[in-house]
Amino acid sequence: MIAEEEKLKRARDEFVAQWGALGTQWGINRTMAQIHALLMTAPQPLTTDDVMEELEISRGNAHTNLKELVAWGLIRPVVKKGERREFFEAEKDVWLIFTIVARERKRREIEPALAILSKCAGESEGIQTPEGKVFHDQMRALEDFVGFASKMSDRIASMKHGFAIQLATKLLG
């Protein structure tokens, strides 16, 4: 039994570390992603103290990142009767996690990029120099592509998980 518990702890620690590294790829800091991974794999809701102890981080770091994860909608506070401490649990539905991350990345990255592309295209409209025309055309092309990709992402994220998998299988098959 102890060997199994140790094996599980090693696997979980590895997942938490790697999820933390991956988190930077989808727009969150390493600690925030590690907390998400810890809560996502926890069989029971955890307290701030549990998170601090497991990840060896400060109370401020834990509190700030837990608050941000709640704001993203990736975790939620849990009230336990008779407990004064606040507990947290993660969303465990993989498709829902994907849609939350896609929505947040769109809000934080895609929408600002579209705004800049639109602004630059608007400001360069009507410039008659060859460089100005090339710049304007490139801004419009990028704006069109990023807008299209954003709409496709929205469409996929709004689909039911099973239907999205079927569609992807057809497209990739």
83-104 burial: b if 16+ Cβ within 10 Å, else e:
eeeebbebbeeeeebebbbbeb
**DSSP sequence for 80-126:** -TT--S-EEEE---HHHHHHHHHHHHIIIIIHHHHHHHHHHHHHHTT
Q: 102 pLDDT exceeds 90?
A: no
Beta carbons of 110 and 143 less than 8 angstroms apart: no
- For residues 85 and 29, membership in a common domain is answered with yes
Total domains present in the chain: 2
Q: Are 166 and 124 contained in the same domain?
A: yes
Q: Are residues 75 and 141 in the same domain?
A: no
What pLDDT does 127 receive?
A: 95
Note whether 14 and 85 are same-domain residues: yes
pLDDT value for 168: 67
What are the tens digits of pLDDT across the range 40-50? 999 999 999 99
Instruction: Kindly report the CATH number assigned to the domain that includes residue 79.
Output: 1.10.10.10
Q: What is the pLDDT of residues 123-145, one digit of tens each?
A: 999 999 999 999 999 999 999 99
69 and 12 share one domain: yes
Domain with 159 in it: 94-172
Domain identity same for 82 and 14: yes
Phi, psi torsion values for 75, nearest 5 degrees? -135, 165
Mark whether 85 and 108 lie in a shared domain: no
99 and 85 both lie in a single domain:
no
Task: Find the range with the poorest average confidence among 22-36, 130-144, 153-167.
Answer: 153-167
Q: Which residue has the tokens 């990709």?
A: 149
Q: Are residues 99 and 154 in the same domain?
A: yes
If asked whether residues 71 and 114 sit together in one domain, one would say no
Give percent above pLDDT 70 in the chain: 97
Domain boundary among 90, 114, 146: 90
Return the pLDDT at 32: 96
In terms of domains, do 103 and 158 share one?
Answer: yes
Whether 102 and 159 map to the same domain: the answer is yes
